[in-house]
């Protein structure tokens, strides 16, 4: 895949980095590899991304943002708050599970990247809990939920379902019975939201 002779944009570097990570894995993917894939010297890559860590964080952010934007639609969906909380949580679970099951190696690669990108992951989690908070607040305003602080409740929801979206539990997502466990968890949490 020879690179087009267009300008070397940050975007193109990120795409090349994803490809290199996909091919070599997180341990062996180097900045030199990325430069080689683009047909430039590695010094050039450093003009755009000051360090390898910054480059990896940018790739990680891209990956996480894809999930976040997928879930955004459940926030504004035209359904009751209970259904939207359920859909949102199920959507997150399904998105993660699909990625982990479909290409386990790539998922493992990004899981490793995420471990080294604490700030990016933190912002991602803040965005997700922010989405959840909106739905919970709508439920409180509609009188369906009775929690006192939507943001606190949303964070609890997110943490309680960690087992179904935290990459470190990916192994469990294949086991039979997870579906039922997920349903039971969401049922219990929704009962809690209603009070």
Residue length, the chain? 195
CB-based burial of residue 180 (10 Å sphere; 0-12 exposed, 13-18 middle, 19+ buried)? exposed
Residue 157 binds a copy of itself, judged by CB under 8 A: yes
Q: Which residues, numbered 53-112, are part of the site for DNA (CB under 7 A)?
A: 53
- With both helix axes pointing from N to C terminus, report the angle between 150-160 and 178-194 in degrees, rounded to the nearest 10: 160
Q: Which of 72, 75, 95, 185 binds a copy of itself (CB under 8 A)?
A: 185
Q: Of these partners, DNA, a copy of itself, none, which one is at the site of residue 159 (CB under 5 to 8 Å by kind)?
A: a copy of itself
Q: How many CA atoms lie within 13 A of 53 on its CB side?
A: 6
Residue 28 binds DNA, judged by CB under 7 A = yes
**What are the CA-CA distances from residue 45 to residues 10, 147, 153 (Å)?**
9, 50, 43
Neighbouring CB atoms inside 10 A of 161's CB total 19
**Residue 98 beta carbon to DNA: minimum distance, rounded to whole angstroms:** 30
Q: Report if residue 9 touches a copy of itself, rule: CB under 8 A.
A: no
- Which region among 15-23, 82-90, 119-127, 185-193 touches a copy of itself (by CB under 8 A)? 185-193
- 184 binds a copy of itself per the rule CB under 8 A: yes
Q: Enumerate binding residues for DNA (CB under 7 A).
A: 7-8, 27-28, 30-33, 39-44, 46-47, 50-53
């Amino acid at each position: 895949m020879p690179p087009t002779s267009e300008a070397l944009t940050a975007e193109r570097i990120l795409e090349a980095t994803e490809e290199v990570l996909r091919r070599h894995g997180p341990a062996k993917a180097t900045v030199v590899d990325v430069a080689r894939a683009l047909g430039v010297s590695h010094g050039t890559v450093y003009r755009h991304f000051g360090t390898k860590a910054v480059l990896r964080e940018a790739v990680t952010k891209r990956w996480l943002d894809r999930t976040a934007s997928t879930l955004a639609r459940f926030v504004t969906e035209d359904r009751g708050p209970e259904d939207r909380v359920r859909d949102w949580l199920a959507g997150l679970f399904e998105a993660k599970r699909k990625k982990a099951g479909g290409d386990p190696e790539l998922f493992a690669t990004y899981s490793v990247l995420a471990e080294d990108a604490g700030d990016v992951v933190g912002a991602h989690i803040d965005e997700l809990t922010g989405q959840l908070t909106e739905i919970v607040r709508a439920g409180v305003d509609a009188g369906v939920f009775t929690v006192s602080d939507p943001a606190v409740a949303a964070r609890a929801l997110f943490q309680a379902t960690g087992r179904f979206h935290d990459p470190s539990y990916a192994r469990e997502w294949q086991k039979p019975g997870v579906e039922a466990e997920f349903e039971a968890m969401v049922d219990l949490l929704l009962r809690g939201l209603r009070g």
